[in-house]
Structure 1
Amino acid sequence: MRFKKELDFVHLSKFFYVFSIVLTIMGLVFLAFLGLNYSVDFKAGSNVDTALSKNVTVEEVRSAIGGVGVPHEPSITMGEKRINIRYEQELNDNQSEALKAAITKLDDKASFEINTVDTEMAKELAKNAIYAVLISCLGIIVYVSIRFEWRFAVAAIVALMHDAFMVVAIFSIFRLEVDLTFIIAVLTIIGYSINDTIVIFDRIRENLRFGKQKTYEDLKVLVNKSVSQTLLRSIYTAFTVFIAAFFLLVLGGESIKMFSLAMVIGLLFGAYSSIFIASPLWLLLKKRQKPAVNNNPAKV
């Protein structure tokens, strides 16, 4: 499906470029000075997830666990009949048992899950998370370069890195907690982003084969036409996945809240990056290949 009147997506992309550049600069500033708000998954400490049979207040929880013997105040997150308590230091066996006993006084039907991460394990998890993102990006570059051409690969990797970094920037700016589910969300967003981008690139390549592009304006018209032909498909796909992620955020448990939020943010940015970032960037790279465009327009 396509719109009867094609929009000038290449021209509109200038506004999205400005928006993305501004947000990127803000994200870099916050990352440089404040970094990310890592959860206990990426730093030494203990995470206590408790399921209750009734709701309690934060004040009741703090008062109950005050005599556990841990010198630093924990961060407490309340959910529907759930408590999540995070300590920046590892709890020993005595402290863990004292904590369980204190909360059991509030609710004798409480159940516990205590996860402890030491310093070395935290560093290893952070390093492996970075490797996972880099390796996935490298694999995408190789695939797109073979399947299409290097200009498509460059444009695709810029678009997916844009989507991933926008999520990281938002989490840094608003000091949202980064845990292991956040990394899973970023990798999922990368996969979604490249899938949507490949659909548009495939249509551009198909139109190149049957068109006669002699000038930059011809290529611009071709890009606008290709995006227009795939736009409804992109919108429907993005909206469907967004609805699922949104209801996971609203109705899901505390343990997947950051995953759901990262997905929602990533899908919003991914919805426009394939259209207004990747395709115009390919056009810009192709513009510098004037002899190839003029002599053999069908070659991609």
Structure 2
Amino acid sequence: MTRDDVRDPEDREAGDEIPVGTDADEVQDAGEVVAEATESADEEALVDAGLPRQGARPAKDGGVRRPERRASLSHRLYNGEAGLDVVGHSRLIYKVTAVVVLLCIASMVFRGFNFGIDFAGGNSFRLPGTSEQLVEVREAAEGTGAEVASAQIVGGNTILLRTEQLDTDAERAVTDAVAAAAGVDPSDVSEEAVSAEWGNDITDQALIALAVFLVAVIAFLALRFEPKMAVGAIAALVHDIVLTAGVYSLIGFEVTPSTVIGFLTILGFSLYDTVVVFDKVDENTKDLERSARMTWSEAANLAVNQTLMRSINTSVIALLPVAGLLFVGAGLLGVGTLKDLALVLFVGLAAGAYSSIFLATPIVADLKEREPEVRALRRRVQARRSSALRTGGVRTAAPTNSTSARSLCVPT
């Protein structure tokens, strides 16, 4: 070791250079590094990181005065700073829902459904033609005494005519009449007879599929969450089915196999949205008995608000293309084959969004509030809040002297 190695840095001469690559040139002032990083950072990034803006004046308590930033609606909903008291207004929700469901049931009972040829049975006729010839072809078929259920253009240049069940002579008469009205040869008319038994088979298969689906849903929710959540989900699904079927009955759209497919589709969507809410409810209510920070119903209501924006966004995104099918495809373009599927999807998706937010969770909360453990939790929460209010009232009382002031500020 030389003398230069043991000399103090302050004893070095000003002209001495530090050799590059040694440990000495790696030594940096920590304050300079922080200052450089702070100067290069964006002011908004500093605020988000909890650091003061450059040139910000300190507050009275020695801290830094920071501008108030208004949180977004989704953030306030998630933190419980804003939201809907869905569980608290469950009685009103039940009443409104019951009125709508009863109207739908009354329509199904007294008005009935407009079953298509696949369910009611009948004959169909396809022939070349344009939209200008549609009225003439229909009138020609009705002129033979046949009852025409529907007449529409499919594929742009084909007329599809559906009638009631016809015998052989009546079928031949309709074929000749529509061919003459369209100006084509009778051999160009494609005839098809559908028996009502085939439609009954479709109905039976759909009911079996629905039963299997409901059993699978109950088993999954009972195992993944708890049986009471399975009850709430099934109640929401029944609501969606009844409401969609009631709207179909009121409007009078034809019930086709596409309608059955749409029914099964909306059940899956409604269940998905409900499971998302239930998963958040399960997360909020876990270990709730230990902390007693809120009641079970309050935790469930918070979960509904935390997932509210997600449910709304998901439903809107799903409804937009379906609305295009219903209003543009079936309404403006006159594509009748789309309206059967589009209507059931549109009504079902809207009903599913409503039931998953406003119906499923309140039902579960009302069932849970009947349990002794949940009732005991509610009493503990109320007692804790009452104690906090009394303590807060004492602390805010004006002290008479310095001794009493110090005693009131002692935490309990």
* Range that drifts further, 260-269 or 76-85: 76-85
Amino acid at match of 1:264: F
Distance 1:104 1:149, change over 3 A: farther
Q: Point out which structure has higher relative CO (alpha carbons under 8 A, 6+ apart).
A: 1
CA–CA distance in structure 1, aligned partners of residues 314 and 128 of structure 2: 36
Q: Distance in 1 between matches of 2:168 and 2:290?
A: 70
**Secondary structure of the residue that 1:268 maps to in structure 2?**
helix
Q: Tell me, in whole angstroms, the C-alpha distance in 2 between the residues paired with 1:134 and 1:265.
A: 21
Indicate the larger mover: 184-193 or 24-33: 24-33
Equivalents in 2 of 1:84, 1:208: separation in Å?
57
Using the alignment, how far apart are the partners of 1:132 and 1:155 within structure 2? 21
Corresponding residue number in structure 2 for 1:271: 353
1:32-71 equivalent positions in 2, closer than 5 A = 32-48=109-125, 52-58=129-135, 60-66=136-142, 71=145
Q: How many angstroms does 1:241 deviate by?
A: 0.7
The structural deviation recorded for 1:24 is 1.6
Distance 1:234 1:106 in 2: 51
| 1:102 and 2:178 are equivalent in the alignment | yes
- Please name the residue that 1:139 is paired with: 216
Instruction: Indicate how the Cα distance of structure 1 residues 50 and 137 shifts in structure 2: closer, same or farther if over 3 A, else same.
Output: farther
SS of structure 1 residue aligned to 2:265: helix
Q: Percent identity?
A: 29
Name the counterpart of 1:207: 284
CA distance in 2, matches of 1:163, 1:13: 18
Alignment of 1:183 with 2:183, yes or no, is: no
Normalising to structure 2: TM-score of the pair?
Answer: 0.63
Q: Tell whether the 8 Å contact from 1:51 to 1:83 is kept in structure 2 after alignment.
A: yes
- Give the counterpart letter for 1:157 in structure 2: I
Gap runs ≥5 in structure 1: 296-300
Give the AA of the match of 2:348: G
Q: 2-side partners of 1:64 and 1:233: how far apart?
A: 54
SS at match of 2:286: helix
Q: Which residue of 2 aligns with 1:255?
A: 337
Q: Secondary structure at the match of 1:30?
A: helix
Distance between the aligned counterparts of 1:107 and 1:16, measured in 2? Answer: 59
Aligned counterpart, 2:273: 196
Aligned equivalent of 2:161 = 85
Q: Structure 2 CA distance, aligned partners of 1:274 and 1:160? A: 9
Cα deviations across residues 72-112 of structure 1 (Å, max 9, x unaligned)? 32123345856442212046498369527734752659986
- Residue 138 and residue 279 in structure 1: after superposition, are their counterparts in 2 closer, same or farther (change >3 A)? same
Where do 5+ consecutive residues of structure 2 fail to align?
1-73, 378-412
Shift of 1:214: 8.3
1:26 aligns with 2:86: no
2:308 to 231, 253, 256: 231
Aligned match of 2:232 in 155, 161, 169? 155
Q: Which moved more, 1:10-19 or 1:228-237?
A: 10-19
